[in-house]
A and B are shown apart, each in its own frame.
Chain A
Amino acid sequence: MTRMDSPSKVTRRHVLVLTGAAAAAAGAGLLPGIALADKAAVDAAIKKAAGGATLQSGRITLELPQIAENGNTVPIGIEVDSPMTASDYVKSVHVFADGNPNAEVASVHFTPANGVAKASMRMRLMKTQNVVAVAQMSDGSVYRETVEVKVTIGGCGG
């Protein structure tokens, strides 16, 4: 993969080759029997992220495909309704996937300098499952949002 040393060489083709190879590996049954995170472990992880606060609903908008054809790269957009001022802002958003081998996906940490609490990235989903986002506000309140994503071809691991 020396091709990647040069900044101009990260082509769309390269990304496709990488994801394609991963999908092929999954198809060929090269994956070990992966233990999935059980429901209790997922709940515990969510509770830990909430830090004992009550999980309220609302304020979070999750932008996710209803059906993800390729579980290796599922786009996720996170947006939390907040003025993002020094006294009232979103501290962190934690993303969980309850059907992956590990429930944790990513945590993003905002500051008032961001202006808006909005971020996007790409994640792996092993199968059809719920994606849960937990947002911690600067005043200590915690919000939760859950979206189900149907996955056609599962991503390798998770």
Chain B
Amino acid sequence: MASATPRIKVPESATKGEIIEIKTLISHKMETGLRKGKDGKIIPRQIINKFTCSFNDQVIFSSDWHPAVSANPLMSFHMRATESGRLDFAWHDDNGETYSKSADLTVA
């Protein structure tokens, strides 16, 4: 898969102090490096090994992934809404690519 498509679900607005849920999903085969292809050769490992979420350029949540993370990895977590700002999400692939997406959050 040449490219991966990230999808995120963040509420557009929140009240101050509210704890919001952030859901992310990215299409990726997460090849374990343990499977053999039809030719009998091992298919090389290619997974997303790191996921980070930053709020106004400060990392608020991150996760290290191993081959045991399912294909099309889903990650959901929470955040306390304190101020309006931008959320940046980044997924780091074994092949050096980084897939990213961002969202704006308005805190009333």
Q: Name the segment of A1-9, A54-62, A132-140, A143-151 touching the other chain.
A: A1-9
A19-32, CB under 8 A of B: which get 1 and which 0?
Answer: 10010010000111
Q: Which of B55, B65, B78 contacts A116 (CB 8 A)?
A: B78
Closest-CB distance, B42 to chain A (whole angstroms): 7
Cβ of B64 < 8 Å from any Cβ of A? yes
Cβ of A100 < 8 Å from any Cβ of B? yes
Residues of chain A having any CB pair with chain B under 8 Å: 1, 4-7, 9-10, 14-15, 18-19, 22, 25, 30-32, 34, 72-74, 84, 97, 100-102, 104-111, 113-116, 118-125, 155-158
Contact B35 A156 (CB under 8 A): yes
CB-CB contacts below 8 Å: B12-66 with A: 19, 25, 27, 29, 32-38, 42, 55, 58-66
Are A113 and B68 CB-contacts (below 8 A) given A10-B25, A18-B29, A158-B34? no
Contact A108 B61 (CB under 8 A): yes
Contact A114 B60 (CB under 8 A): yes
B68-79, CB under 8 A of A: which get 1 and which 0?
Answer: 111111111111
Taking A9-B5, A106-B64, A108-B63 as given, write out 7 further A-B residue pairs in contact, using a Cβ cutoff of 8 Å, ordered by the A residue number.
A4-B27, A5-B5, A107-B64, A111-B61, A119-B78, A122-B69, A157-B35
Closest-CB distance, A22 to chain B (whole angstroms): 7
Q: Which residue of B lies closest to A156 (CB)?
A: B35
Q: Which residue of B lies closest to A35 (CB)?
A: B34
Contact A109 B61 (CB under 8 A): yes
Category for how many chain B residues contact A:
35 or more
Contact B68 A115 (CB under 8 A): no
Are A102 and B60 CB-contacts (below 8 A) given A119-B77, A156-B34? no
Are A104 and B42 CB-contacts (below 8 A) given A4-B5, A14-B27, A113-B80? no
Cβ of B9 < 8 Å from any Cβ of A? no
Contact B68 A97 (CB under 8 A): yes
Q: Which residue of B lies closest to A158 (CB)?
A: B68
